[in-house]
């Protein structure tokens, strides 16, 4: 197989303007993937800064660092930005870069649509943020944006709705693109049963987006119509109902949780086998579990409404408890993969272990909340805040960091510094637990979520101080990661094509890959084509000797 034809000679460095224009107009999935990541990490800094301000407000009782009006905007925008502008786009960014590589494709199925779905994202994000600049401030009805409260909002609320409409279009186009890419552009030999789990997870996420997001879009349309056209979808006095809002919102809102975590499961299912030196314990089991989660996720939304008296609590308990079964299966698969392996504690694996340890706590918290009677005691308290952060931070953010250390060499040709990575990991792990574990107690002790201040005699002060100091530690850990990034990017490109002894096709091409992805596409005979390749090389060597 000729491999020389497309090797471009090292060109003279082009002018800066030209390079910037290249990025702005690119349809290359790798560049778009990197832009997704840069955009999401930028918004991560915004959302994180808001979290720091909130934790500073709660550092002491009756603190008036912010007025309630300001604090309410902060937690609304923190949640909104983290969910819609950070976590999902981060996973989509890794998906953009690595799904085509992992299935041995040249690009996404619709490269121009791909560029469009990226550019809609910062546009939507800026519309969201613009809320802070208008009269009345940004939206302040919480990320769940419940009516009738949200109907009282001012211009910031409209910007919120508009921004999320734009972000929604971006996600939908991206999801369609992923599904078509994965179903149609796989390399010869790569049957679906040999597809990397990360691709399965991205496929699953995309299916969830396609089937759940439109309900939210409809919800936004109804909200805009109620606010501006005089319709009465959510007005009980005029034949509408609050239930119309809650049902259309949570029909999207719960699958959304899986949209935010499934690709993270995929990342962990890639990293754990590679650094354990073993194949994934139960490939079919994991795929089955993912599919079960997708199917069940559309039947659990009512568990967000246990205390509303609007849904059949028993039905939604059964479905909610059932969905924990496939999630459990994933854990056992990761553990069984490590069992009997030879684990290398490289930074990606460390974060993956952190993911398993933290995400299981978030999962167990869920067992309490899935039981309606118990939920009556802890719903809308800090227990929920703790749970969601154990899932989305202890879960997804740890997985995203794992992915960052895992794939950074592939994307940039440079290895991130190990020592700084270890510092980052331990600071983040400790900071995270110090910040969020006390919130369980605060919730059990009756501290409701989303309060701008609390009285001094409530007895919540110590735990809040603890929580805030943990939050600051997280911020420090992120600065360490940022420093690592900056330092590494100044170093020369030394990363080999396959620094981790990986299994999947992205490790079969150079680091970073050429614009056309592969010079040589290895044959695919199993779900670990690059492992097969390495084995074949060893066998040949032995035979030769």
HSE value, Cβ hemisphere, 13 Å, CA-based, for 437: 11
Out of 41, 97, 251, 503, name the contact with other proteins by CB under 8 A.
Answer: 251
Query: What are 156's strand-pairing partners?
Result: 138
Alpha carbon distances (Å) from 353 to 266, 303, 390: 14, 29, 14
| 194 in contact with other proteins (CB under 8 A) | no
C-beta of 414 vs 449, nearer to other proteins:
449
Region for 444 from its dihedrals, namely left if φ exceeds 0, alpha if ψ lies in -120 to 50, beta otherwise: alpha
Query: What are 381's strand-pairing partners?
Result: 448
C-beta of 367 vs 479, nearer to other proteins:
367
Nearest to 513 by CA among 427, 439, 407, 378: 407
Residues 317, 372: contact at Cβ < 8 Å?
yes
* Residue carrying the six token digits 């197989």: 1
User: Minimum distance from CB of 307 to other proteins (Å)?
Assistant: 5
Residues 115, 34: contact at Cβ < 8 Å?
no
- Give ∠ CA 431-435-441 in degrees, rounded to 5: 140
The residues in 513-532 that bind other proteins, with binding defined as CB under 8 A, are 516-521
Out of 59, 130, 343, 465, name the contact with other proteins by CB under 8 A.
Answer: 343
C-beta of 342 vs 490, nearer to other proteins:
342
| 510 in contact with other proteins (CB under 8 A) | no
Out of 27, 130, 448, 469, name the contact with other proteins by CB under 8 A.
Answer: 448
The residues in 363-402 that bind other proteins, with binding defined as CB under 8 A, are 364, 367-368, 370-374, 376-377, 379-381
Residues 352, 427: contact at Cβ < 8 Å?
no
C-beta of 26 vs 313, nearer to other proteins:
313
Out of 59, 218, 483, 497, name the contact with other proteins by CB under 8 A.
Answer: 218
* Residue carrying the six token digits 């919730």: 443
Contacts of 417 (CB under 8 A, 6+ apart): 484, 487, 488
* Residue carrying the six token digits 């939050």: 471
Choose the binding region for other proteins from 83-91, 307-315, 411-419, 470-478 (rule: CB under 8 A).
307-315
**Containing H/E element for 212?**
helix 197-228
C-beta of 6 vs 295, nearer to other proteins:
6
| 319 in contact with other proteins (CB under 8 A) | no
Contacts of 17 (CB under 8 A, 6+ apart): none
Choose the binding region for other proteins from 125-133, 139-147, 258-266, 404-412 (rule: CB under 8 A).
139-147
Choose the binding region for other proteins from 12-20, 142-150, 396-404, 471-479 (rule: CB under 8 A).
142-150
User: Minimum distance from CB of 313 to other proteins (Å)?
Assistant: 7
C-beta of 88 vs 281, nearer to other proteins:
281
* Residue carrying the six token digits 């614009």: 515
The residues in 7-66 that bind other proteins, with binding defined as CB under 8 A, are none
| 542 in contact with other proteins (CB under 8 A) | no
* Residue carrying the six token digits 């700084």: 420
Out of 24, 38, 126, 325, name the contact with other proteins by CB under 8 A.
Answer: 325
**Residue 283 is encoded by which pair of tokens?**
């490939």
| 486 in contact with other proteins (CB under 8 A) | no
User: Can you tell me the distance from the alpha carbon of 300 to that of 136, in angstroms, rounded to the nearest whole number?
Assistant: 36
User: Can you tell me the distance from the alpha carbon of 322 to that of 315, in angstroms, rounded to the nearest whole number?
Assistant: 11
The residues in 79-138 that bind other proteins, with binding defined as CB under 8 A, are 105-106, 109-110
**Residue 64 is encoded by which pair of tokens?**
């008036």
Query: What are 129's strand-pairing partners?
Result: none
| 484 in contact with other proteins (CB under 8 A) | no
C-beta of 24 vs 288, nearer to other proteins:
288
Contacts of 309 (CB under 8 A, 6+ apart): none
| 287 in contact with other proteins (CB under 8 A) | no
HSE value, Cβ hemisphere, 13 Å, CA-based, for 238: 7
Peptide bond into 148 cis (omega under 30): yes
Out of 49, 126, 318, 487, name the contact with other proteins by CB under 8 A.
Answer: 318
C-beta of 164 vs 175, nearer to other proteins:
175
Out of 59, 291, 310, 497, name the contact with other proteins by CB under 8 A.
Answer: 310
C-beta of 45 vs 148, nearer to other proteins:
148
User: Minimum distance from CB of 442 to other proteins (Å)?
Assistant: 9
User: Can you tell me the distance from the alpha carbon of 396 to that of 394, in angstroms, rounded to the nearest whole number?
Assistant: 6
Out of 51, 452, 475, 478, name the contact with other proteins by CB under 8 A.
Answer: 452
Choose the binding region for other proteins from 85-93, 196-204, 245-253, 482-490 (rule: CB under 8 A).
245-253
Alpha carbon distances (Å) from 254 to 69, 201, 209, 294: 28, 17, 11, 11
C-beta of 393 vs 454, nearer to other proteins:
454
C-beta of 98 vs 518, nearer to other proteins:
518
| 499 in contact with other proteins (CB under 8 A) | no
Choose the binding region for other proteins from 34-42, 125-133, 159-167, 234-242 (rule: CB under 8 A).
234-242
Choose the binding region for other proteins from 119-127, 209-217, 422-430, 477-485 (rule: CB under 8 A).
209-217
User: Minimum distance from CB of 273 to other proteins (Å)?
Assistant: 10
Q: How many residues bind other proteins (CB under 8 A)?
A: 138
């Amino acid at each position: 197989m000729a491999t020389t034809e497309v090797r471009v000679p090292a060109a003279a460095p082009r002018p800066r303007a030209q390079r910037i224009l290249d990025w702005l107009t690119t349809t290359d999935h790798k560049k778009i993937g990197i832009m997704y990541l840069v955009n999401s990490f930028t918004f991560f800094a915004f959302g994180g800064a808001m979290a720091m301000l909130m934790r500073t407000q709660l550092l002491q009782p009756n603190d008036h660092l912010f007025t309630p009006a300001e604090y309410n905007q902060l937690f609304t925008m923190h949640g909104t930005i983290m969910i819609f502008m950070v976590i999902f786009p981060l996973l989509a960014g890794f998906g953009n870069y690595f799904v085509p590589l992992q299935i041995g494709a040249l690009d996404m199925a619709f490269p121009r649509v791909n560029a469009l779905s990226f550019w809609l994202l910062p546009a939507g994000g800026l519309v969201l943020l613009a809320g802070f600049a208008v009269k009345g401030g940004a939206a302040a009805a919480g990320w769940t944006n419940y009516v009738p409260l949200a109907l009282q909002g001012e211009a910031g609320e409209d910007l919120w709705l508009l921004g999320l409409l734009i972000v929604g279009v971006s996600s939908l186009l991206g999801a369609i693109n992923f599904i078509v890419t994965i179903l149609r552009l796989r390399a010869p030999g790569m049957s679906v049963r040999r597809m990397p789990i990360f691709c399965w997870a991205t496929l699953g996420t995309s299916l969830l987006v396609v089937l759940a997001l439109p309900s939210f879009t409809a919800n936004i349309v109804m909200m805009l119509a109620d606010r501006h056209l005089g319709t009465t979808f959510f007005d009980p006095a005029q034949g509408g109902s609050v239930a119309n809002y809650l049902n259309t919102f949570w029909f999207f809102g719960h699958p959304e949780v899986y949209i935010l975590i499934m690709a993270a499961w995929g990342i962990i299912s890639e990293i754990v086998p590679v650094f354990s030196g073993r194949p994934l314990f139960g490939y079919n089991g994991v795929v089955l579990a993912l599919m079960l989660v997708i199917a069940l996720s559309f039947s659990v939304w009512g568990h967000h409404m246990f205390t509303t008296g609007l849904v059949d609590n028993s039905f939604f308990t059964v479905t909610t408890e059932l969905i924990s079964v496939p999630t459990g299966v994933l854990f056992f698969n990761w553990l069984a993969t490590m069992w009997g392996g030879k684990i290398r504690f490289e930074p990606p694996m460390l974060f993956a272990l952190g993911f398993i340890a933290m995400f299981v706590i978030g999962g167990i918290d869920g067992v309490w909340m899935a039981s309606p009677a118990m939920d009556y005691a802890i719903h809308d308290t800090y227990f929920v805040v703790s749970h969601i952060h154990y899932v989305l931070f202890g879960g997804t953010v740890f997985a995203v960091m794992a992915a960052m250390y895992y794939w950074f060499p592939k994307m940039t040709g440079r290895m991130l510094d190990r020592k700084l990575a270890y510092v980052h990991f331990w600071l983040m792990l400790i900071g995270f637990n110090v910040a969020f574990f006390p919130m369980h107690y605060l919730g059990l002790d009756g501290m409701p979520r989303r309060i701008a201040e609390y009285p001094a005699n409530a007895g919540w002060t110590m735990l809040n101080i603890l929580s805030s100091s943990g939050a600051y530690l997280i911020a420090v850990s992120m600065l360490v990661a940022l420093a690592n990034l900056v330092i590494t990017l100044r170093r020369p490109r030394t990363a080999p094509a396959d620094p981790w002894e990986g299994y999947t096709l992205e490790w079969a091409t150079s680091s970073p890959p050429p614009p056309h992805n592969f010079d040589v596409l290895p044959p695919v005979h199993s779900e670990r084509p690059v492992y097969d390749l390495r084995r074949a090389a060893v066998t040949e060597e032995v035979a030769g000797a």
